[in-house]
Amino acid sequence: MITKSIKNISFGFTMVFMMVNAQFSNAQNNAGNNPQLQAVSAPEEYKAENPGWLVNLDEAYALSKKTGKPILANFTGSDWCGWCKRLVASVFSKPEFQSWAEKNVVLVELDFPRRKTLPPHIQQQNANLQQAFQVSGYPTIWVFNLSKDDTKNQYSIEALGKTGYTATVEEFTAGVEQMIKKK
């Protein structure tokens, strides 16, 4: 279930949504109780297309909380979106970007591929975030902070801004830095 509430911070707003990975968690817990089942049903490790990017929002939240850095989420169609591939080639794959990102943001890849299948819990997470951020085109990059209500297993999102394809590392990072400074 996704619930929205508006909170005015110049460009920011807050959206609350519940991560729907209870089924995945239950499957993992049940597998852990039965060694034979664990060997058969343990999910394959899924990794981002690009090095240094996370795919799990819980991991990104933990790292963001620990470092105080905002999350930069790339909504992408890694295997079919031409502009997404250009963004990777012109910005995300460059050492200058990778160095800047390591110092300034937590990177999360939210992929919507057509030729490969993502694990169900990642598909659900990505679909929830796509709906929460109202993403309708790719690439869309959102910069945001998260807070979590552990009792409800809900995140509250403070959006700092969004962008799309940008031709250079300098242009991309300058735009994101402006979003972060608005906070």
Q: What structural domains does the chain harbor? A: 2-182 (3.40.30.10)
- 9-18, 89-98, 153-162: range with lowest mean pLDDT: 9-18
Residues 161-170 as b/e (b if ≥16 CB within 10 A, e otherwise) read bbbebbeebe
Whether pLDDT at 24 is above 60: no
Predicted confidence band of residue 42 (pLDDT cuts 50, 70, 90): very low
Predicted TM-score of the model (pTM): 0.78
Residues 6+ apart with CB under 8 A from 94: 169
Q: Which of 10-19, 55-64, 146-155 has the lowest mean pLDDT?
A: 10-19
Q: What is the pLDDT of residues 50-99, one digit of tens each?
A: 899 999 999 999 999 999 999 999 999 999 999 999 999 999 999 999 99
CB 165 within 8 A of CB 137: no
Tell me the CA distances in angstroms from 10 to 29, 85, 169, 182, one per residue in order: 43, 31, 25, 8
Res 45: pLDDT: 84
